[in-house]
Amino acid sequence: MAVAELLKTFLINFLLTERCYDELLLELNFLHVPCLKILLSKLLGLGIIAGSVMVKLPQIFKILRAKSTAGLSFKSVLLEVLAITGTMTYSIRNHFPFSSWGEALFLMLQTLTIGFLIQYYTGRTYQGTILLFIYFLLLGLLLSSVTPLVAVAFLQALNMPAVIVSRLIQIITNYRNGHTGQLSSITVFLLFAGSLARIFTSIQETGDSLLVLTYVVSSSFNGVIAAQLVYYWGIHPEKVKKAE
């Protein structure tokens, strides 16, 4: 009985509402569309979060192996951190389910790491360290009641231009270089797939049009970068330099 109660508690807290638990598992009504949508959304959300734990690790390892951040734009990384932080703080302050935004936490940590590595490999380790300190100080303020909720909502509204500009910078960098440098194909394709899936989960779990539109825009530009990776596949910085 204790195990059954624990399982029920887990399912209701993480995958289903109490009503859907009754519909699907007690009434065995497996064709209940609203509950199936909720279940699919929760599973997708948890899957995205699980994938986000390591989504940028291939990018980080590629940088560490090459001891280079060639082809990566620091400005683009900063704008991406801004966009991720906006989504994360907006979701936390509005008490959205963790399954609807949890990947932002792990993406934030990994993107900050990439930003620091760009600074480190360009001889600006001190500036990178100061940047991390300032970021976590500001994050603490955004999550506290000291910052009005309207200010956090404004930061989320800035996500779209931040996402557009950050992706455009990377897209233009790739085009001008004639290659994608140290960009990791695994990371890029996972981010593209994750942002597409987030459109559905945001509609289903939050109903927040601002959040949904942000993921639509993000998916569009992530798709362009993924297409560039395919187009420039096999072209390395060394080959471009020799050609020049």
> pLDDT tens digits for 192-240?
888 888 888 788 777 788 778 888 888 999 999 999 888 888 766 555 4
Which of 180, 167, 75 has its CA nearest to residue 122?
A: 75
Tell me the pTM: 0.67
Helix (H) or strand (E) holding 70: none
> pLDDT tens digits for 13-62?
666 666 776 766 666 767 767 777 777 777 777 777 777 777 788 889 98
Structure tokens that stand for 33 in this block:
């569309």
Please, which pLDDT band fits residue 242 given cuts at 50, 70 and 90? Answer: very low
Q: Is there a contact between 204 and 41 (Cβ–Cβ < 8 Å)?
A: yes
The alpha carbons of the chain give a radius of gyration, in whole angstroms, of 20
Q: What is d(CA 92, CA 90) in angstroms, rounded to the nearest whole number?
A: 6
Considering 154-163, 175-184, 215-224, the range whose residues carry the highest mean pLDDT is 215-224
